[in-house]
Amino acid sequence: MLSIYFTSYQQLTKERFNLKKNMVAIYRKFGITTIIAVYLLILVGGIVRSTGSGMGCPDWPKCFGQYVPPTDISELPEDYKTVFAVQGREIADFNAVHTWIEYINRLLGVLIGFFILITAVLSISFWKKDKIITLFSVLALIAVIIQGWLGAKVVSTDLHEGMITIHMIMALLIVGLLIYTVVRSYNGIIKTEKITNPSKINLIAFASFGVAFLQLILGTQVRESIDTISKKLGENMRTEWIEGITEISNTFYIHRSFSILVLLLHLGLIYMLWKNASKNGRIQRLGKSLLIILIIEVITGIIMAYFAIPKPLQPIHMLLASVALGIHVLLILFINFDFLFRKNVVEVARGNTSNE
């Protein structure tokens, strides 16, 4: 009798260990999927803007007062323009394509909200090993809730330029938090790379991260001016937009010229990594992809500036800038892996062999 009890207790303990092991493994894979999904949402957000679909749904969280928005104007009341007025102003004519682009954007937003919720739940499996993973995963969840609220504000302020910028920075913060926790969850599993001259590498890595971030902020200022001028001149005068923004501020010229500094610093970074990191190791590969992304970023910027801002390039330009920052975070984490996570290496590594 006692032996049956003991065997089933052992069985239960084993199952618990297995469940924990599975949760840890799922957390890592799910975390990576969530990061990719957030980038997809950033891209879709850019498409919403470039197609002018931001006010496709004039209310929030519903769309034209419905959970599934209309596909035809006949499904709306005759006075819909005043019924769904924003800030006391009548809305534009109903456009099914705009409405559905914005609606898909919102659905994706909700889906990612659930993804981040699941990530936070899965992170509980790390609580005993590394509390930071759980705490930061929960922080990402809180950030995504705030992001939902900000999204509503963007609509209720009739796409206020500053609100769009805050919304974008919040998205980047969420990606940053997720990247940090997922990398941390690999502690004790991935091999760290040895680099020589770590202090110099760190200096140039942080400096290039700083200029890339500043360039992103400058870019958002250019975008804010474009939004203002496009409202004033309209879609038909697209060829005049760049000239229009240069009349109201110098931000465009600063953004354009700043690219030279961004590229030079990144070339310096690549050179340092080439000299001091292992050949074709993870760190070198990240550095190279960063440079390639920034070169494409500059090319898309030049085409936008001199060919009347082709619509498809707007979301691509923004996505590339966001991906570059994500790679920067990865790079800095890998360069400093031992220093940042070393304290937990033994514990987590032991956890992997005994518990997992």
Residue pair 23/121 in contact (Cβ under 8 Å)? The answer is no
Of residues 219 through 248, those in contact with ligand HEM by CB under 6 A are 219-220, 222-223, 226
Of residues 80 through 139, those in contact with ligand HEM by CB under 6 A are none
> Taking the complex as a whole, how short is the minimal distance between the CB of residue 69 and ligand HEM, in angstroms?
24
| Residue corresponding to tokens 């749904």 | 57
328 sits near ligand HEM (criterion: CB under 6 A): no
Out of 44, 171, 304, 333, name the contact with ligand HEM by CB under 6 A: 304
> Taking the complex as a whole, how short is the minimal distance between the CB of residue 13 and ligand HEM, in angstroms?
51
> Taking the complex as a whole, how short is the minimal distance between the CB of residue 59 and ligand HEM, in angstroms?
24
- Distance between CA atoms of 212 and 293, rounded to whole angstroms? 12
- Which x/- pattern over 42-81 shows residues binding ligand HEM (rule: CB under 6 A)? ----x-----------------------------------
- Residue 251, CB half-sphere, CA atoms under 13 Å: how many? 18
Write the single-letter amino acid at 18.
Answer: N
Interior angle at CA 212, CA 170 and CA 141, nearest 5 = 20
- Distance between CA atoms of 107 and 82, rounded to whole angstroms? 26
> Taking the complex as a whole, how short is the minimal distance between the CB of residue 180 and ligand HEM, in angstroms?
21
- Distance between CA atoms of 81 and 97, rounded to whole angstroms? 17
Residue 89: what are its φ and ψ, rounded to 5°? -105, 140
Sequence-ordered alpha helix ranges (H) in the chain: 2-50, 80-83, 96-122, 131-156, 161-185, 198-233, 241-248, 251-276, 282-306, 313-335, 337-354
Out of 168, 204, 272, 335, name the contact with ligand HEM by CB under 6 A: 168
- Which x/- pattern over 306-325 shows residues binding ligand HEM (rule: CB under 6 A)? ---x----x--xx--x----
Tell me how far apart the terminal alpha carbons of the chain are, to the nearest angstrom. Answer: 30
Of residues 202 through 221, those in contact with ligand HEM by CB under 6 A are 212, 215-216, 219-220
Q: Which parts of this chain interact with ligand HEM (CB under 6 A)?
A: 46, 168, 212, 215-216, 219-220, 222-223, 226, 255-256, 259, 262, 294, 297-298, 301-302, 304-305, 309, 314, 317-318, 321
